[in-house]
Structure 1
């Protein structure tokens, strides 16, 4: 997760307007398998934990060999990331993209790859590489007979300069410069945009400005009225804000996949196991229904499988559903 610009984004927004590929299904609720820790179980054990908890989709931030070998043949669908540090090579060289696909996709024929995410929360000058890298990876997959695996990227909610009400949503100036080509690519290839959406961050970085119940899916009624549509939770508001901002820049018809969301269980304001359980269980139940403007299941990935001890101290280390010893941080059901 990237935190740059989150606080300023929400301050501004509040001021301006208080898996082989598998078919889309309502079961497409997955969990991100982050590995920024030195005490995690073996990948084969982790895959078993996914299966025993009924988690059918996995997001990997890089093509980790152990994870891909372990998840092959299980039917668990996989998003695999082409990390930010390879973007410049992928953008500059079709041959580099073909090599990346050969080593990280074709080498694992029993893995149910769903998407390749080219970059995660790419910012600054590196954004100029996004669309070219996506084009080259897409072409490499097609040439390998794997064109059913969609190519996308994952963006931060911080690229929304205005998010509430959703109909007023717009990208930041920086994001407008690179999102046009990205969205045109996604529209042409039939791929979704992946977005990391964190109501917790909006709540925690704007003390007193956002009601906790609105962030936790526990508000008793409409909090934000937007024309004929009433919004009871910040998750829906942000998802529909992405749709409006995307439509302004050539992305009409491009679906949104929520590639990260969650609530920390420690290290920050209202970061408790109880609140994390409320958010994530309500999320799992809610995304099967969709948003006011986009009813129907929202493909969503909870962050994250484990608490990760090599991340920055505080909330960053406490997003896991499980401790590294594989005990639940709090009870949760994916059924």
Structure 2
């Protein structure tokens, strides 16, 4: 063999000996529990504009899947926990996978069987349904000739494992048997282990948790663990899972982060600055390919940020911040600058959003508000007023602005129905934006076109309300000057 051939062989040998660097792909969770839903096609355009190639759904929403057809975006669909005991796996595959997948269709790569079904708070109610559901669904995928392409996973909360230091990580004792079955199934079908990690919740739920340990800029309270030292909660949490998987005999199992993020409102510590610092730190950490002490040079396979959009209809049982995880607001507008390392220096906003007319419902400036309590309670029980609570972006409003915020939230929820701003004469529609500082009084969006006949009516209605508003304002000023 000539010298050129020897050099080529040596080069190939060196390439084989060098560890393969795997760069994490960054996707988003697309939740749809919102009072104000954009068109699914608008959301998909938003994903494409930001070069986001992976998205995770919490169900098999047909409108979302239709919008994703032909987009080239890889999709994870979900089966809610409540369905695990009753769903027909063959029917599920036919209705939610086979009809959408294929050339020019939706690129469905994963099915999430349940969502955090082993969560301590569920008291084990879903425990016995997960593995049977997995096995039945796998058989249905085999019958549909999709098992080699569509992989089954079970997103787990980080409370499934525990330890004082990462290297001693293990699954909760009551989960050992089912986790052994689950991880064996995942390994035999080339599926990853999916875990949701939330340093914000660790900080929110523990007053003694070091704040800087939740982020990625280093910590004044690092965690020593034998030869390793942990400077952020993500690495510590991730390696605790690595250790737990190793104890079951699967030290190299691929890991996907199903959810991770930081809320921007609704609690102390939930704000735009903290969310930007956390998410940008996370992205930079992942793209560095540094990995973690137990998996150096091997970051997670995929990471799905939580979440894409705010979801104003989510339950606030865990906390008011639940409605404010979006990197984008409910109308697809970026809340802060974030470089995803995908060729774009910042985020691009959604285009062609169908807004309702620019008008708001506020507390009438000349009415006595002593009887407003019931109206305020009703408005906030149906609409979203979480930003008014402690730590929220609207928590510093005065009493009358609080009332206006509640009235407007309800008014927009009712698609600006004129009667919904009455409140026994205590409300008034205005064209003047009542937003104060960082507290935004929203205008709703719709997933439907405003018809050509409705638009002129909306314009004349706005003009009418402007005139009324100006007249009331003028009368109020005259009264005050007297």
Query: Would the TM-score normalized by the shorter structure come out above 0.5?
Result: yes
Alignment of 1:189 onto 2:189: yes
Kindly report which structure 2 residues correspond to 1:97-246, keeping only aligned pairs within 5 A, or say none: 97-109=89-101, 110-123=105-118, 124-147=124-147, 148-162=149-163, 164-208=164-208, 210-219=209-218, 223-246=222-245
User: C-alpha offsets along residues 246-294 of structure 1, whole Å, 9 cap, x if unaligned?
Assistant: 2223443322111000011111231111000111111112123222221
TM-score under structure 1 normalisation?
0.86
- 1:177 deviates by 4.2
User: C-alpha offsets along residues 72-102 of structure 1, whole Å, 9 cap, x if unaligned?
Assistant: 1111111111221221134xxxxx2111111
Q: Which of 298, 306, 309 is residue 309 of structure 2 equivalent to?
A: 306
* Contact 1:117–1:153 under 8 Å retained in 2: yes
Match of 1:52 in 2: 49
* Contact 1:53–1:333 under 8 Å retained in 2: no
- 1:233 deviates by 1.0
Q: Aligned with 2:292: secondary structure?
A: coil
The number of equivalent residue pairs is: 305
Q: Aligned with 2:277: secondary structure?
A: helix
Q: Aligned with 1:89: secondary structure?
A: coil
TM-score under structure 2 normalisation?
0.61
- 1:317 deviates by 0.8
Larger Cα-atom Rg: 2
Match of 1:11 in 2: none
User: C-alpha offsets along residues 215-236 of structure 1, whole Å, 9 cap, x if unaligned?
Assistant: 1111157812222222221101
2:109 & 2:60 partners in 1: Cα distance? 13
Q: Aligned with 1:225: secondary structure?
A: strand
Match of 2:404 in 1: none
Match of 1:261 in 2: 260
Q: Which of 38, 42, 63 is residue 39 of structure 2 equivalent to?
A: 42
**CA 1:85–1:193 in 2, change beyond 3 Å: closer, same or farther?**
same
Higher relative contact order at CA 8 Å, sep ≥6: structure 1 or structure 2? 1
* Contact 1:222–1:230 under 8 Å retained in 2: no
Q: Aligned with 1:286: secondary structure?
A: helix
- 1:44 deviates by 0.6
1:267 & 1:114 partners in 2: Cα distance? 34
| Bigger mean CA offset, 143-152 vs 173-182 | 173-182
1:333 & 1:214 partners in 2: Cα distance? 22
- 1:212 deviates by 1.6
- 1:28 deviates by 1.6
User: C-alpha offsets along residues 128-171 of structure 1, whole Å, 9 cap, x if unaligned?
Assistant: 11111111112211221112211110011122232x41111122
User: C-alpha offsets along residues 296-319 of structure 1, whole Å, 9 cap, x if unaligned?
Assistant: 232111001111111134111111
Match of 1:297 in 2: 299
* Contact 1:161–1:169 under 8 Å retained in 2: yes
- 1:25 deviates by 5.9
**CA 1:27–1:75 in 2, change beyond 3 Å: closer, same or farther?**
farther
* Contact 1:61–1:81 under 8 Å retained in 2: yes
Calculate the aligned-residue CA RMSD, in Å.
1.8
Match of 2:324 in 1: 318
Q: Aligned with 2:44: secondary structure?
A: helix
